[in-house]
């Protein structure tokens, strides 16, 4: 895998992880039991900590990338294992490099 490909995949996993992590790290006024200030939305976070979200996101993205890279290196789950759409005969009988 080229370095630029690895960086791009990590970046995509990081963005995906940010959307997964955010709902678990942000607490609203309803969650805490306080009333929001006048003019604030009810869904506004009480104590927004962006560096905490960045830290958790980086941790999750790093774990996902390591799993992705290990799968890429050791070929634990390949395209033939997914079996969603059967491969055409000419591709199914083709040898992969290194086989």
Q: What is the band of 70 on the pLDDT scale with cuts at 50, 70, 90? A: very high
- Sorted by where each begins, the domain ranges of the chain are 3-92
In tens, the pLDDT along 21-48 reads 988 878 888 888 888 888 888 888 888 8
Is the model's pLDDT at 56 over the cut of 90? yes
**DSSP string of 21-56, one letter each residue:** HHHHH--BHHHHT-PPPTT--TTSBSS--HHHHHHH
> What gap in Å lies between CA 93 and CA 99, rounded to an integer?
12
- Mean pLDDT to the nearest integer, 49-66: 95
Q: What is the band of 80 on the pLDDT scale with cuts at 50, 70, 90? A: confident
**What is the pLDDT of the chain when averaged over all its residues?**
87
> What gap in Å lies between CA 69 and CA 47, rounded to an integer?
36
Helix axes 3-25, 50-74, angle to 10 degrees: 140
Burial class for 96, CB neighbours closer than 10 Å (0-12, 13-18, 19+): exposed
Please give the model's pTM, rounded to 2 decimal places: 0.72
pLDDT at 55: 95
φ, ψ (nearest 5 deg) of residue 45 = -70, 145
């Amino acid at each position: 895998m080229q370095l630029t490909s690895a960086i791009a995949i990590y970046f995509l996993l990081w963005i995906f992880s940010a959307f997964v992590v955010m709902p678990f790290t942000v607490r609203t006024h309803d969650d805490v039991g306080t009333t929001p200030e006048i003019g604030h939305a009810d869904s506004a976070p009480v104590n927004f900590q962006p560096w905490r979200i960045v830290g958790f996101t980086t941790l999750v993205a790093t774990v996902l990338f390591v799993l992705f890279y290990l799968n890429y290196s050791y070929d634990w789950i390949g395209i033939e294992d997914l079996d969603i759409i059967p491969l055409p005969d000419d591709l199914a009988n083709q040898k992969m490099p290194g086989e």
